[in-house]
Amino acid sequence: MTSQKQGAFYTGRYRNVFKEHGYSEDDINDRVQKTWKDIFYGDQKTTFYYPVGENKAYILDTGNLDVRTEGMSYGMMMAVQLNKKEEFDRLWTWAREHMYVTFGENAGYFSWSCAPDGTRNYDGPAPDGEEYFALALFFASHRWGDGEHEPYVYSHEAKELLRTCLHKGEDSIGQPMWEKENKLIKFVPNCSFTDPSYHLPHFYELFSLWSYPEDRSFWQEAAHASRRYLQKACHPVTGLAPEYAFYDGSPNHVNGFGHFYSDSYRVAANIGLDYEWFKKDEWQVTEANRIQAFFADKDPLDYRRYTIEGDPFEKKSLHPVGLIATNAMASLAATGPIAKAHVDLFWQTPVRQGERRYYDNCLYLFAMLALSGNYRIWMPQKS
């Protein structure tokens, strides 16, 4: 653990990794804005943002043709980081109207998948959506102020959602999204395993400041628990994490999800951003170096699915652009000699076009924000 408080949360300074590696500020700013425009307002080859009526919009998973809490919450986080209040409110309005569950064992959560017309495909939630919704709402409250009426009293919505995530089932039916004993996030509420890419200790640090007072100690403990957990789940040589894993960190091979594949890509990005914001775990530097070293001699046109030990499968990566983006985002923590090469590769890679563009370009815009110093913590406004 680091002894000094050096992360951006404490200093207010965010690295512009692109600039550190020789790119001009004008080119960087232009690229960030172009990426936003391409995926929110570009042509049908690049966009996945679709306005509906006067005040709603959804983000389409273009590979599965549905609307997911993952994408909706990601879009809200992108919008608040870039000061796009109209797009934020449109997405939140759609999600709150169509995805929010008001009855049954999942009341208070969001249906993880809906059709573009708002019809729910499932009533159950996926916890990564809830945690992104909550932090995006806090940031919106801090950046723009709360609205006067539901659902735009952003901070209240975030606190209520986090309360549900922790206390669901205590006085009604249903299950919480975090294990009370080990403080780890579940894959879904009614299971006993997790997804390493769901672990966002940098989010939990902020939840421990802004959630209801009675829950703040839990979130502080959850941040510590998730940092410890990732050290167990990531391979000690390759740095690769499985998509699904048990609470002891071992891969969960049920239905073939115990290998390094699409969900796993986000671990590198999460570790990089946690290190940038808080710098509480020097293991993250070692981990980022391991992941980048593993991919240093791999052809991006031939990225594969891998065991966490690094053995390739015949099946190619479904989202190679997303993998390029997350490996580059690991440079927020990496100190190895190839950190720049991963950043350069990302810079030279355009946004993805076509059927599978949604997931890749979500990860792409997050990396573009983070590496340009624009993925920031929005603190409460001083009165």
pLDDT per residue as tens digits for the range 10-64: 999 999 999 999 999 999 999 999 999 999 999 999 999 999 999 999 999 999 9
- Let me know: does 371 contact 331? Beta carbons within 8 Å: yes
Burial of 229 (0-12, 13-18, 19+ CB in 10 A): buried
Q: Give the pLDDT confidence of 100-121 residue by residue, as tens digits.
A: 999 999 999 999 999 999 999 9
Confidence band (pLDDT; 50, 70, 90) for 5? Answer: confident
State the Cα–Cα distance between residues 318 and 322, nearest whole angstrom. 9
Encoded tokens for 319: 């989202």
State the Cα–Cα distance between residues 156 and 42, nearest whole angstrom. 34
Question: For the residues 164-186, what does the mean pLDDT come to?
Answer: 96
Question: How many Å separate Cα 67 from the centre of its chain?
Answer: 16
State the Cα–Cα distance between residues 322 and 206, nearest whole angstrom. 26
In a domain, 144, yes or no: no
In a domain, 57, yes or no: no
Tell whether pTM > 0.95: yes
Give the closest residue to 166 by CA, choosing from 179, 154, 147.
Answer: 179
Give the closest residue to 134 by CA, choosing from 68, 224, 86, 200.
Answer: 200
- β-bridge mates for residue 59, sequence order: 49
- Let me know: does 361 contact 71? Beta carbons within 8 Å: no
Question: For the residues 154-158, what does the mean pLDDT come to?
Answer: 98
pLDDT at 1: 52
In a domain, 316, yes or no: yes
Number of structural domains the chain divides into: 1
**How many Cβ atoms are within 10 Å of 246's Cβ, its own excluded?**
16
Question: For the residues 146-157, what does the mean pLDDT come to?
Answer: 97
State the Cα–Cα distance between residues 357 and 365, nearest whole angstrom. 12
Whole-angstrom Cα Rg for the chain:
19
State the Cα–Cα distance between residues 167 and 176, nearest whole angstrom. 6
In the chain, what percentage of residues exceed pLDDT 70? 99
In a domain, 165, yes or no: no
- Let me know: does 69 contact 110? Beta carbons within 8 Å: yes
In a domain, 257, yes or no: yes
Burial of 187 (0-12, 13-18, 19+ CB in 10 A): buried
Question: For the residues 135-144, what does the mean pLDDT come to?
Answer: 98
DSSP state of 194: B
Write 11-14 long-range contacts (CB < 8 A, 24+): 14/276, 14/373, 14/374, 14/375, 14/376
Which entry of 38, 61, 66, 70 is annotated as an active-site residue? 70
State the Cα–Cα distance between residues 265 and 252, nearest whole angstrom. 17
Q: Provide DSSP, 308-375.
A: TT-PEEEEEPS-HHHHHHHHHHGGGT--STTHHHHHHHHHHSPPP-STTHHHHHHHHHHHHHHHTT--
Helix (H, G, I), strand (E, B) or coil at 217: helix
State the Cα–Cα distance between residues 265 and 305, nearest whole angstrom. 11
Burial of 43 (0-12, 13-18, 19+ CB in 10 A): exposed
Query: At residue 383, does pLDDT exceed 80?
Result: no
In the chain, what percentage of residues exceed pLDDT 90? 96
In a domain, 202, yes or no: no
Q: Give the pLDDT confidence of 339-358 residue by residue, as tens digits.
A: 999 999 999 999 999 999 99
Q: For position 281, which CATH number holds?
A: 1.50.10.10
Helix (H, G, I), strand (E, B) or coil at 40: helix
State the Cα–Cα distance between residues 155 and 210, nearest whole angstrom. 8
The yes-or-no answer on residue 215 being catalytic is no
Encoded tokens for 95: 């999600």
Rounded to the nearest integer, the mean pLDDT of the chain is 97
pLDDT: is 202 or 336 the higher one? 202
In a domain, 153, yes or no: no
**Residue numbers of the domain that contains 258:** 1-42+235-378
In a domain, 61, yes or no: no
Confidence band (pLDDT; 50, 70, 90) for 3? Answer: very low
Question: For the residues 123-129, what does the mean pLDDT come to?
Answer: 97
Q: Which of 130-134, 334-338, 367-371 has the lowest mean pLDDT?
A: 334-338
Which entry of 263, 281, 287, 360 is annotated as an active-site residue? 263
- Let me know: does 307 contact 239? Beta carbons within 8 Å: no
Query: At residue 122, does pLDDT exceed 90?
Result: yes
- β-bridge mates for residue 363, sequence order: none
The yes-or-no answer on residue 130 being catalytic is no
- β-bridge mates for residue 100, sequence order: 110
Give the closest residue to 75 by CA, choosing from 358, 379, 380, 274.
Answer: 358
pLDDT at 157: 98
DSSP state of 178: B
Query: At residue 171, does pLDDT exceed 90?
Result: no
Confidence band (pLDDT; 50, 70, 90) for 382? Answer: confident
